[in-house]
Structure 1
């Protein structure tokens, strides 16, 4: 009998965390699912097998290797994912009231620590390094954008990048200016997007526009995976567990800070020299 599914937040997280344990053919299924997540998972076994370039039995083995009792149970888990992906803070709160946990209330600090630990346990160091490598590319113009709350994370990253290198800026909010900025992107540039559940269609449009121009897209998202993941060059998902109805941003912030540290290391003396010049100019202008 197949083992029970691992206690992870989403099917996408399960796939990403188990890729190293799969056979080469099963990894093809995993990549096909992640590239078209979650819609690819609702195709028939035969259609998904064709998409991945494998046999039907390989698709079924893939599902059982993840701990599901066949492909139908795997698809049910995907349906549960969709329900979670669209949940609002009020919906999350109402569910907690209707189905209270019999255990003692969890310590908010413990939940925060656990979410950060789980985030770094599931994000490969290679992906953080790949993100930093793209952001440290001296030839690249960096543009950033986020959503209602994640805009704060985008701004945080932008401020640090601007202190270390030139060519990094938030996309303007004004529509005409934003369109003009997007029009200047080339294949050597990088678009950094923050998109968390209740994913925002304007952010997805930015990603698809950039991908069509072969601009590199870096995505910070949650474990349910923004639809942007299918066109992103680098995907950095973070856990969002919290003791409130609102998704936690602390793990995503920790990922951003890890990327900043890696960028600083890669930029080396050019970053420290820029910071020295900025500090000197700020003193000369009486700004500090």
Structure 2
């Protein structure tokens, strides 16, 4: 039986393949790369079809799935299908498996779980990956475009509001897709598109990523979960964050923490320029910081 674990739950096949990559032979690594290139659909075919596509024998595929912890190819595929189901889980399905703990101490218990997820994120997102995303967002030569899904667009808006105070050329795409072409026409290859998409992924965001990747070709940064939004196949950088907190509702606490860390570091990388922009920004506000609203209204 498949048993690899990690903090916060069962490891995905993707995580397991990457963790075991150093122990794989050249042929096995080829199989792993093929699975990851179109995850999870790349392995939801017969073993003969996967062998033909990779140029590796069926027995080699059997050895590969055994090396990463599966009893056979069928168990390997069952795990992938299970991940697909999890990626589409709604609060209605999650309610059946939630673990609320003590009602008298729910807030304290929830805070503990949230802290555990943030700690998990600190171990699962490499510093090098954070630095690569940071470099893109901090580069003043690049315009930054942001958008999220039904709930996660609030995080995209939160990031855009802060980035706009720190640096120019930051654009939060409007929710109506009919208004996207105006901004996409200004998008250049050196620019950055940041998309937030968590499970029960949105088809319109995937379509946007597909169009942008083929026609505008900026750097696409995807912030998603361990099951991976389909946008990943169009993305240059994919940040997978923990969201399962054992309730009917997924948590976005890690997404907020990740975004806040980016905001802090973007401002610090060129504080002199950021300080100058913040000062100019405050002078143009209707109610400058420190001035009572009543005094402003008396003018």
Distance in 1 (alpha carbons) for counterparts of 2:207 and 2:40: 18
Q: Which residue of 1 aligns with 2:183?
A: 181
Change (3 A) 1:138 1:173: same
Contact residue 17 and residue 122 of structure 1 kept, 8 A? no
CA offsets per residue over residues 129-154 of structure 1, 9 Å max, x none? 11111112222211111111101111
Matches within 5 A, 1:4-153: 4-7=3-6, 8-19=10-21, 22-23=24-25, 25-49=27-51, 51-52=53-54, 56-96=58-98, 107-153=109-155
State the number of aligned residues.
281
Contact residue 5 and residue 11 of structure 2 kept, 8 A? no
2:240 pairs, out of 237, 241, 245, with 237
CA offsets per residue over residues 182-232 of structure 1, 9 Å max, x none? 232221111110000010000101111111122211000011100111111
Matches within 5 A, 1:130-279: 130-213=132-215, 214-279=217-282
Change (3 A) 1:222 1:80: same
Q: Greater relative contact order: 1 or 2 (C-alpha under 8 angstroms, separation 6 or more)?
A: 1
Contact residue 13 and residue 224 of structure 1 kept, 8 A? no
SS of equivalent to 1:196: coil
Contact residue 196 and residue 222 of structure 1 kept, 8 A? yes
TM-score normalized with structure 2 length: 0.83
Which range moved further: 24-33 or 256-265? 24-33
Q: CA offset at residue 278 of structure 1? A: 1.9
Contact residue 108 and residue 243 of structure 1 kept, 8 A? no
TM-score normalized with structure 1 length: 0.86
Contact residue 128 and residue 258 of structure 1 kept, 8 A? no
Question: Structure 2: where are the runs of 5+ without partners?
Answer: 290-299
Question: Over aligned residue pairs, what C-alpha RMSD do you find?
Answer: 2.6
Change (3 A) 1:43 1:266: farther
Question: Structure 1: where are the runs of 5+ without partners?
Answer: none
